Amino acid sequence: MDQDKEYVGFATLPNQVHRKSVKKGFDFTLMVAGESGLGKSTLVNSLFLTDLYKDRKLLNAEERITQTVEITKHTVDIEEKGVKLKLTIVDTPGFGDAVNNTECWKSVADYIDQQFEQYFRDESGLNRKNIQDNRVHCCLYFISPFGHGLRPLDVEFMRALHEKVNIVPILAKADTLTPIEVKKKKFKIREEIEQYGIKIYQFPDCDSDEDEEFKQQDLELKESIPFAVIGSNTVVEAKGKRVRGRLYPWGIVEVENSTHCDFIKLRNMLVRTHMQDLKDVTRETHYENYRAQCIQSMTRMVVKERNRNKLTRESGTDFPIPMVPGVAESETEKLIREKDEEVRHADRAPDSVPDREHESHQSSEQQEPSDPRDDRER
């Protein structure tokens, strides 16, 4: 390349960026949610070739009655070809296990919000050198294969979380279904997802300059939702080969056989093609939404407090007293007033905000199901 007269050399920039990232290593936080017994732990172990749950104790029904939904975190460092990944798995034992499961997703939603809050505080602080990013990048939600599609709990959970985290629906224990049953179930679930206005993680559209093979794979990926998976921690012998699978009297189910299940598709999507995008959408959409809402509600509280103070001071009035012009304002008052205007401005005029589409910042009750991709600039 040096011989090229016109070569400056900044084409090496991606390499310079990559060199630093390899040194630093990457991190990824994956949440798994769904009722007990749907194979979540096994799947995680299969995906990342680890044995995170080997010391786990399974509770019996009586013990489960008193259990509330817990949030557990497991971290593992994985290295491959010089690239280091710090993988965190967030599990939700107890979810959906009680007799009355009302609002059992609340602790999950709270956990996600807490990570956002911690990041927001760190980001706004003075010393930002070593901010820990514990935000959840992806949530695999396990749908039982035994129902007729989505159950009310599934719908409520996904609706409560779809604007906080990237949801990837999984059809669990898919070896209990025949291929035709899988197909029908997937179709039904996709229909219901749309019907209930659930915004699952959307794969980004292909660039027009990608090759045909890539485009084809991309299309297949989109049509595979929910991923019908099977997990296994054991190795069995099939046709003279040793494979990860499940041994039945009637045959062997191979986890990594794409005619048997979507495990390979899921793994490739999660690790090999979309890991970066999952992190980007978390940062650029979910976190930004949280942050904007947080700031606006802080502003409202401050304004309310101020108005309340005014009311108690001047009896007989039942509306906020406007600022008297000409009186010197303190710095804080000025900022409060400006924020006041910003909040009113934001509530009133969604299309006058210059850079981001504003629909997602309105209160959630008024919201119509819209494509989460709309919030992202192309």
Partner 1 sequence: ISHGHGGSHSSSGGSTLLGYIGIDTIIEQMRKKTMKTGFDFNIMVVGPSGLGKSTLVNTLFKSQVSRKSAGWARDEKIPKTVEIKSVSHVIEEGGVKMKLTIVDTPGFGDQINNDNCWEPISKYINEQFEKFLKEEVNITRKKRIPDTRVHCCLYFIPPTGHCLRQLDVEFMRRLSHSVNIIPVIAKSDTMTIEERQEFKQRVRKELENNGIEFYPQKEFDDDMEDKSDNDKIRETMPFAVVGSDKEHQVNGKRVLGRKTAWGIIEVENPNHCEFAQLRDFLIRSHLQDLKEVTHNIHYETYRAKRLNDNGGLHPISSNDTQESNL
- Minimal distance in Å, beta carbon 31 to partner 1? 13
Nearest to 93 by CA among 39, 36, 155: 36
Q: Which amino acid is at 311?
A: L
Furthest-apart CA atoms within the chain: distance in Å: 89
Residue ranges in 188-247 that form contacts with partner 1 under rule CB under 8 A = 235, 242-244
Mark 259-298 with x for binding to partner 1 (rule: CB under 8 A) and - for no binding. Answer: --------xx--xxxxxxx--x---x---x--xx--xx--
Of the two residues 312 and 330, which places its CB atom closer to partner 1 in the complex?
330
**Would you say 313 or 378 has its CB closer to partner 1?**
378
> By three-state DSSP, how is residue 373 classified?
helix
Among 250, 354, 364, 365, binds partner 1 (CB under 8 A): 354
> Which residue, 85 or 109, is less far from partner 1 as judged by CB?
85
Query: What is the closest distance, in whole angstroms, from the C-beta atom of residue 142 to partner 1 in the complex?
Result: 20
User: Per-residue string for binding with partner 1, 299-338, x by CB under 8 A?
Assistant: --------------------------------x---x--x
Q: Are 39 and 231 in contact (CB under 8 A)?
A: yes
Nearer to partner 1 by Cβ, of 22 and 65: the residue is 22
- Least separation in angstroms between residue 158's CB and partner 1 is 22
Name the DSSP letter for residue 126: S
Identity at 47, one-letter amino acid code: L
Nearest approach in angstroms of CB 318 to partner 1 is: 29
Which residues are registered as beta bridge partners of 138? Answer: 30
Nearer to partner 1, 86 or 148 (CB): 86
Residue from the set 192, 339, 359, 373 that interacts with partner 1 by CB under 8 A: 339
Closest CA to 39 of 222, 195, 230: 230
d(CA 122, CA 104) in angstroms, rounded, equals: 29
Residue selected from 355, 365, 368, 371 as contacting partner 1 according to rule CB under 8 A: 355
Q: What is the rounded end-to-end Cα distance, in angstroms, of the chain?
A: 32
Give backbone dihedrals phi and psi of 147, rounded to 5 degrees, phi first.
-90, -170
Smallest distance from partner 1 to CB 195, Å: 31
Q: Which two tokens stand for residue 201?
A: 């993680």
Which segment (81-89, 160-168, 179-187, 305-313) binds partner 1 by CB under 8 A?
81-89
Q: Which of residues 18-47 bind partner 1 (CB under 8 A)?
A: 18, 20-23, 26, 47
Backbone dihedral region of 176: left (phi > 0), alpha (psi from -120 to 50 degrees) or beta? alpha
Instruction: Pick the binder of partner 1 from 57, 60, 62, 79 (CB under 8 A).
Output: 79
Residues in region 83-102 near partner 1 by CB under 8 A: 83, 85
Lookup: tokens for 85: 């990944």
Q: Between 22 and 301, whose beta carbon lies closer to partner 1?
A: 22
302, 332 in Cβ contact below 8 A? no
Chain position carrying tokens 């980007």:
280
Q: How many residues bind partner 1 (CB under 8 A)?
A: 82
Q: Which listed residue (67, 68, 72, 234) binds partner 1 by CB under 8 A? A: 72
Give the phi and the psi of residue 77 in degrees, each rounded to 5: -95, 125
Cβ–Cβ under 8 Å, residues 166 and 278: yes
Contacts with partner 1, 99-138, as mask; x by CB under 8 A: ------------x------------x-xxxx---------
User: What is the rounded distance in angstroms from the CA atom of residue 146 to the CA atom of residue 176?
Assistant: 8
